[in-house]
């Protein structure tokens, strides 16, 4: 599993919004410049974060983006899943297939390993909050 630039830039932008939590909204242009990425790419990222109800947008001269919840309430897992989709390592180790029968019908000796890895990674990502990143 490799995290794409979408998740990398999105996580950095979310950190910036967390640092500014409670302040005026931040523009996509400003955040794109801080992350050294294009405005259109940042807008695509923000569309996904907004759809996942992690950020809020406001229009107008003082409009922009703010976090929907406090940084202590937003997990890193929520952010990554909003931008990348479900986290999985194999066909049988994702949210959708974790409790289903394996397509190899019991012939796979590694299924339990992949499922354990999935659970450990997801637990770690849920325990880590946006506030943890900005407080380091």
C-alpha 116/C-alpha 90 separation (Å) is: 12
Q: How many C-beta atoms lie closer than 10 Å to residue 77's C-beta?
A: 18
- What does the pLDDT read at residue 103? 64
- What does the pLDDT read at residue 110? 82
- What does the pLDDT read at residue 106? 63
Q: Which CATH architecture has domain 5-134?
A: Orthogonal Bundle (1.10)
* Tens-binned pLDDT, residue by residue, of the chain (136 aa): 678 999 999 999 999 999 999 999 999 999 999 989 999 999 999 999 999 999 999 988 888 999 999 999 999 999 999 999 888 777 776 655 555 566 665 667 887 888 889 899 999 999 999 999 998 7
- What does the pLDDT read at residue 101? 60
* Dihedral angle computed from the Cα positions of residues 61, 71, 76 and 100, in that order, rounded to the nearest 10 degrees: -100
- What does the pLDDT read at residue 105? 55
Q: For residue 36, with 0-12 CB atoms within 10 Å meaning exposed, 13-18 middle and 19 or more buried, which class applies?
A: exposed
| Residues in Cβ contact with 83 at an 8 Å cutoff, skipping those fewer than 6 apart | 4, 6, 7, 10, 45, 48, 49
pTM, two decimal places: 0.86
- What does the pLDDT read at residue 104? 62
C-alpha 60/C-alpha 98 separation (Å) is: 45
9: Cα within 13 Å, side-chain hemisphere: 21
């Amino acid at each position: 599993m490799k995290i794409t630039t979408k998740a990398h830039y999105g996580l950095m932008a979310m950190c910036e919004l967390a640092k500014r939590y409670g302040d005026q909204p931040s523009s996509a242009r400003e955040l794109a410049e801080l992350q050294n990425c294009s405005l259109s790419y940042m807008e695509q990222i923000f569309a996904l974060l907004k759809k996942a109800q992690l950020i809020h947008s406001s229009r107008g001269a003082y409009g922009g983006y703010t976090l929907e919840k406090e940084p202590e309430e937003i997990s890193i897992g929520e952010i990554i899943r909003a931008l990348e989709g479900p986290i999985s390592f194999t066909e049988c180790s994702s949210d959708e297939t974790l409790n289903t029968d394996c397509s190899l019908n019991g012939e796979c000796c590694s299924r339990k390993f992949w499922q354990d890895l999935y659970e450990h990674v997801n637990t770690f990502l849920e325990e880590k909050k946006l506030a943890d990143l900005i407080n380091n």
